[in-house]
């Protein structure tokens, strides 16, 4: 398993629950453990307002409420 810094925090934004879980599982298999998740862009914005230590965002483009290109 690759050596991944523990302080990297990733936000996964995906409305399809199965796809979101697969993305998180893949990230964990690569050694990432500090992962937040959101089901749409509005929820992602709330997470970003609550947590200033997110380093990376992996987002779907087309989601209900607010898509990846809008937030």
- Please report which confidence band the pLDDT of residue 67 belongs to, taking 50, 70 and 90 as the band edges: low
Q: Is the pLDDT of residue 1 over 60?
A: no
Integer Cα distance of 69 and 71 in angstroms: 6
Could you tell me if 23 and 68 are in contact, meaning their C-beta atoms sit under 8 angstroms apart? no
> Which pLDDT score is estimated for 11?
96
SS3 71: coil
Q: Is the pLDDT of residue 62 over 70?
A: no
Take residue 33 and report the two structure tokens written for it: 């453990």
Residue-level length of the chain: 71
- Mean pLDDT along residues 51-68: 79
Question: Which has more confidence, 4 or 32?
Answer: 32
């Amino acid at each position: 398993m690759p050596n991944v810094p523990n302080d990297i925090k990733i936000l996964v934004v995906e409305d399809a629950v199965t796809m979101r879980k697969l993305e998180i599982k893949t990230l964990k298999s690569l050694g990432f453990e500090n992962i937040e998740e959101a089901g749409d862009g509005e929820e992602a914005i709330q997470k970003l307002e609550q947590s200033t230590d997110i380093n990376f965002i992996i987002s779907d483009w087309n989601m209900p409420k607010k898509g990846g290109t809008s937030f």
